Structure 1
Amino acid sequence: MPTDSTDPVDPKTSTTPADDDVTFDYPVTFRINRIAYFTVPMVALVVVLLVGASPWFAIALVVPVVLWLWIHRLRTVVTENGLRAVRMFSTTEIAWSEVAGLQFPKWSSVRAVLTDGNRVRLPAIGFRDLPALSIVSGGRIPDPFEAARSAK
């Protein structure tokens, strides 16, 4: 799942979190790709066609608005102190000391596995975001691509 991160770090040019030329300002926000907003007018067009078929579908006019709000709200924010998972109706703060690792379910979003065994979904984080996430986390979250490169 591609994301649209406001992180200025390019994981292709930065090899390790210890690079001196890598600078960024906290908080670093990982968002859903802006292309997702393209679905809003498409859904609105379908809803307008449905309303034309029957006025009872007018209640469905709320669907494009809710979709826009959902896309706009979902994000994961990385700070000096930890992670903040912002979902549609809730926000979860996770301190770095509570993060035991990450879990990548096959058909679901990335989850932070906590030291107590609980799991917290991290919206807008994908596997390809791991190099950037490793850099902004200060190495607390390891970069599997770097481990594979160093193993060769």
Structure 2
Amino acid sequence: MSVPAATRPSQAPESVAFVISRLAYLTVVVTLVIAVMLLGVSLWFGWVLLLPFAQIWWIRRIKTVIDDDGLTAVHTVGQTRVEWSELAGLQFPKWSAVRAVRLDGDRVALPAVSFDDLPVLSLYSGGRVPDPFAAEREARQAERAANA
């Protein structure tokens, strides 16, 4: 399904990728420091020097890609595609990743997506995912127009 041109700006890209924050790369530095300290204890800990590279690979791999046709959740191993027509809604567990709920009840974790990303999700889904911030934004704009 394509998002109507009236709702999406013409300069908007065909797809959007939600990725893990660059701040996550600080954990690589911490892991490297710990690995060097362990290496000083014993050479048997030499394999620990591979962990920072695994972390970099994981941080770069984990993402959610949204396009005109649906969502693609890229996990550590594999990826899952959810078409907009299969999407029943989103679930926001308290201490877990956002989940896309399919019409058949299956849930797919959406890495790197948060509640604050709902306006972009709404835009690309053509309104299938509601924007909870839209009502407040419209009320604020109406108030500004009335005061101007």
Q: Which residue of 2 aligns with 1:102?
A: 90
Q: CA RMSD in A?
A: 2.0
- Whichever of the two has the greater Rg, that structure is 2
User: Are residues 128 and 47 of structure 1, via their aligned partners in 2, closer, same or farther at CA, if it must alter by over 3 Å?
Assistant: same
Q: What TM-score, normalized by structure 1, do the two folds share?
A: 0.81
What is the rounded CA distance, in whole Å, between the counterparts of 2:61 and 2:113 in structure 1? 14
Q: Which residue of 2 aligns with 1:78?
A: 66
Pairing partner for 1:44 from 16, 32, 37: 32
Q: Which residue of 2 aligns with 1:25?
A: 13
What is the rounded CA distance, in whole Å, between the counterparts of 1:74 and 1:20 in structure 2? 26
Pairing partner for 1:122 from 97, 110, 119: 110
Q: Which has the higher mean CA deviation after the structures are superposed, 81-90 or 129-138?
A: 129-138
TM-fit CA distance, 1:23: 3.3
Partner amino acid for 1:95? E
Unaligned residue ranges in structure 2 (runs of 5+):
141-148
Q: Which residue of 1 aligns with 2:78?
A: 90
Residues 1:58 and 2:46 aligned together: yes
- Count of aligned positions: 136
Contact 2:65 2:73 (C-alpha < 8 Å) held by counterparts? yes
TM-fit CA distance, 1:49: 0.8
1:14-36 alpha-carbon deviations (Å, 9 max, x no partner) = xxx95575631112111111111
Q: Which residue of 1 aligns with 2:125?
A: 137
Q: What TM-score, normalized by structure 2, do the two folds share?
A: 0.83
Q: Which has the higher mean CA deviation after the structures are superposed, 100-109 or 127-136?
A: 127-136
Partner amino acid for 1:52? G
1:56-80 alpha-carbon deviations (Å, 9 max, x no partner) = 2112112111111110001100111
Partner amino acid for 1:60? V
Aligned-residue sequence identity (percent) comes to: 49
Q: Which residue of 2 aligns with 1:9?
A: none
Q: Which has the higher helix share?
A: 2
TM-fit CA distance, 1:136: 2.2
Q: Which has the higher mean CA deviation after the structures are superposed, 132-141 or 84-93?
A: 132-141
